[in-house]
Structure formats: structure tokens, C-alpha cells
Amino acid sequence: MTQRHLLKLLDLTGEEINQILDTADQMKYSQKHGIVHDYLRGKTLAMIFEKNSTRTRVSFEVGMYQLGGHALFLSGKESQIGRGEPVEDTARVLSRYCDGIMIRTFAQSEVEELAKHATIPVVNGLTDFAHPCQVLADLMTVRERMSRLEGLKLAFIGDGNNMANSLIVGGLKCGMDVSVACPEGYDPDSEVLDFAHAVTGPKFELVRTPAQAVAGADVVITDVWASMGQEEEKAVRQRAFAGYCVDAQLLEMAKPGCMVQHCLPAHRGEEISAEVFEQHADEIFEEAENRLHAQKAVLYLLMKD
């Protein structure tokens, strides 16, 4: 991988994404078979969280441990970050103690700024714009179960949020056709749409009806209607997204045997029905597990000597 950081999938080539996925498969194999893979012995990852997390925090911390290293948790509120210390100073300080930084925050520009001033790799653990680690895990899970990505149709139903942005980029870069259904006013980021419309080969469409997006899909993916930081918009969004629930009736339009993915946490009865969630729980929790393996691949590729 030629990249020094993982800030967004737009920065990676399809080959680099595939390299991460291949490495992730190896990490999973090693972990399952008890093969020692302590490639990051003695190294430390600082994890900055300015938003809540269960999966990201645990999978990064456990991942660093399994790689022979150490991870430390820095809460935005309790560190000087929450008291306004400039991100460029945080970057320069952490670069002198640690070997990598994972950050979950609001603005993508904060992550880009951190990377600009850090002399160690920076990994985006979710911003309002992107969730690259999650989408690497999603792609890994689809490839594991369907043996390929190229030529498959991925449908995303819901808000044009960080997940939609990263799925569009990741899916298209891996040769998948991507169809996104969002209500008007909730489109993916314009930079992502510009990228998607310029892609040659795989097909991309942005539509207003979930049934259109799901038609013939191999993988159907959804996410919450109100992301972290949008709690006050919850009621407005529930009205805007009426009809965007991934339920059994909608899935009848997809290819028989289609997969369902959800990054979690899920709101049953909103973006996904309880029935569909439970029918596809095995795939959804495999996706959650694969965060661990995919992130270990990223950490290894960015932080190894």
C-alpha cells in the first residue's frame, strides 16, 4: 500500500482495497488457527473518540493486542482536545509517544488536519463524511460469502451518510454496481457523487424508490436514519424516511439468496424490520466480527516496520 494513512476510501485504488481485503483474510485465518501474528510488537495506537462507540473501540483495542501491540483510549471530552487544544498540536504530541492514531470525530477536515501534522499513520474510525474501516469489513464479508465483488450489485437504502459515501466509493472501486435510494434532501456527499458519476465500468445510480435500488441486488445494505450528532433531527427524519425500511416485502425485489448488511447499531422497525434483521443476523454479526480482521490488516499495512 502506498498510502501513509487511511482517511477515506477515495484516497485508495481498487488494488489497494483488494490488498487490504487479502491481508484481512490472512489475519482472520491466523487468528482462527492460533498462528502467532504479532507484527506490531511494542507499538502503540492512540484512539481518539469524540463520538460514542462499541465495535470500533473494542475491535481496534483487541486488534492491537492480537498484533502484539497496545492501544490507548483518549476521550474527546476528558482530554485537552475537548478543551480546544489545536489538532495540529495533538498530532505532534501523539507522534512523539505513539506509532499510530485512530480517530472518530465529526468533521472530516479534522482527520485530514491531524494526518497533515502527524508523523505517524492516522486511521479514520468514522467521521460525518466517511466510515472506511466499516466498509472494508462489509466488502470483506461480501467477498467471503459470495467469493467475489466484481459484477455484483450493491443496493444501499437510506440516508446519504458516512456509510453511503464509503459504500459508493468502496463498491465502485471494487467493480460492484452500486444503486442508492435516498429521499430527496438526504443525498450522499457531492464529492462522492461526482466520483461515482465519473466511474467507467461499474454502474452507479441514485434513485428515490427503494424497490428500484433493490431490484436484482446481490447485497442490500442500510444504516440508521439519524446518525450520531443528528439526534435532534430524529422526528423529522423518521417522517422523511417513511417507506425506506428494509423489510421482507422489499427484499422480494432482490436476487434470491441476497445478503443483508448493517454496520450496527440497528433500529428494528425503522431502517430494517426485526424479521429481516434476524433472518440475516449471521451475516450482520460476521460483518461486525470482520471489523477486527479488516482493521488489523490496515494497522499492519500502515504501521509495520
Smallest gap from Cβ 272 to ligand CP, in A, equals: 14
Q: Which of 5, 8, 43, 55 binds ligand CP (CB under 6 A)?
A: 55
- Residues in contact with ligand NVA, total (CB under 6 A)? 9
Judged by DSSP in three states, 161 sits in: coil
Instruction: Compare residues 69 and 210 and give the one whose CB is closer to ligand NVA.
Output: 210
User: Does the annotation count 293 as an active-site position?
Assistant: no
Restricted to residues 95-114, the positions that interact with ligand NVA (CB under 6 A) are none
DSSP letter string over 75-109?
Answer: ETTTSGGGGT--HHHHHHHHHHH-SEEEEE-S-HH
CB 21 within 8 A of CB 129: no
Nine-digit cell string for 256? 434470491
User: Does the annotation count 223 as an active-site position?
Assistant: yes
User: Does the annotation count 249 as an active-site position?
Assistant: no
- φ/ψ (deg, to 5) at 88: -70, -30
Task: Provide the residue type at 234 as one letter.
Answer: K
Torsion of CA 8, 12, 16, 21, to 10 degrees: 30
User: With binding defined as CB under 6 A, does residue 75 bind ligand CP?
Assistant: no
Judged by DSSP in three states, 56 sits in: helix
User: With binding defined as CB under 6 A, does residue 53 bind ligand CP?
Assistant: yes
Q: What secondary structure letter does DSSP report for 9?
A: G
CB 294 within 8 A of CB 21: yes
If one counts every other C-beta atom within 10 angstroms of the C-beta of residue 250, the result is 23
Restricted to residues 239-298, the positions that interact with ligand CP (CB under 6 A) are 263-264
Residue nearest to ligand NVA (CB): 227
Smallest gap from Cβ 55 to ligand CP, in A, equals: 4
Smallest gap from Cβ 9 to ligand CP, in A, equals: 15
User: Does the annotation count 134 as an active-site position?
Assistant: yes
Cβ neighbours for 75, distance < 8 A, ≥ 6 positions apart: 49, 82
User: With binding defined as CB under 6 A, does residue 62 bind ligand CP?
Assistant: no
54 binds, among ligand NVA, ligand CP, none (CB under 5 to 8 A by kind): ligand CP
Restricted to residues 157-186, the positions that interact with ligand NVA (CB under 6 A) are 161-163
CB 47 within 8 A of CB 71: yes
Q: Which of 15, 29, 54, 148 binds ligand CP (CB under 6 A)?
A: 54
222 binds, among ligand NVA, ligand CP, none (CB under 5 to 8 A by kind): none
Instruction: Compare residues 142 and 263 and give the one whose CB is closer to ligand NVA.
Output: 263
Segment contacting ligand CP (CB under 6 A): 16-24, 47-55, 145-153, 245-253? Answer: 47-55
Strands of the 177-181 sheet, one edge to the other: 204-207, 177-181, 153-157, 219-222, 259-262
Q: Looking at 131, 143, 280, 293, which residue is catalytic?
A: 131
CA dist list (Å): 280 to 13, 52, 272, 291:
30, 25, 11, 17
Instruction: Compare residues 66 and 162 and give the one whose CB is closer to ligand NVA.
Output: 162
User: Does the annotation count 104 as an active-site position?
Assistant: yes
User: With binding defined as CB under 6 A, does residue 227 bind ligand NVA?
Assistant: yes
Nine-digit cell string for 231? 439526534
CB 237 within 8 A of CB 244: no
Catalytic residues: 104, 131, 134, 223, 263, 291
Residues that bind ligand CP in the complex, under the rule CB under 6 A: 53-56, 126, 134, 263-264
Residues that bind ligand NVA in the complex, under the rule CB under 6 A: 126, 161-163, 223-224, 227-228, 263
